[in-house]
Structure 1
Amino acid sequence: MNIFIPLMLGVLIGYALRTRKRKVEVDVPMSAALLLMIFFMGINAGEVSINAGWLLGSSILFALFTIAGSLGMAVLLGGSR
């Protein structure tokens, strides 16, 4: 809900400004806001602590089970000719 109010406010302001002869350039402020948002999202993501060893092990195990399941289904459905 917090994002809905500024979004609608921006739509209304854009609608009001579209009939003006002189266009408002918003490329630079929009790019700066986007870069700041990505930067702050990176800071927030960096604060999360993970157990990298467990994550690596579970990812490898998941990949091996996926490969084994795919091979099993290929043999089961395709047979060996």
Structure 2
Amino acid sequence: MNIFIPLIAGVLIGYLLRRKGRKVDADLPMSAALLLLIFFMGVEAGKVRIDALWLLSSSVVFAALTIAGSVGIALIVGGRG
């Protein structure tokens, strides 16, 4: 689905309502849409099958290498004292 069509339609409607001086309270519809978006993103994320042990070990290794690289660069650039 093309997301630009509703986006452009919303901008045009907002522009037309702004010119007429009407105040539209869009907080409730935006909150409802955001909650639905988060819910459906969770549903899609729940469908994904992953190997949790491999993901955990690779994340730990990546974090350790990132920390070691940061400390190494800090020692090279800044020196020890």
Match of 2:2 in 1: 2
> Could you tell me which residue of structure 1 aligns to residue 62 of structure 2?
62
The 5 Å alignment of 1:1-81 reads 2-70=2-70, 72-73=72-73, 78=79
Return the TM-score normalized by structure 1: 0.76
CA shift, 1:64, in A, is 3.2
- Unmatched tracts of structure 2, length 5 or more: none
Could you say which structure has the higher helix fraction?
2
How far the C-alpha of 1:39 sits from its partner, in A, is 0.6
| TM-score, length basis structure 2 | 0.76
State percent identity of aligned pairs.
65
Q: CA deviation at 1:22?
A: 3.8
Q: Deviation at 1:15?
A: 0.7
Q: Between Structure 1 and Structure 2, how many residues are aligned?
A: 80
The unaligned stretches of length 5 or more in structure 1 are none
Once superposed, what is the RMSD of the aligned Cα atoms?
2.3
Q: Is the radius of gyration larger for structure 1 or structure 2?
A: 1
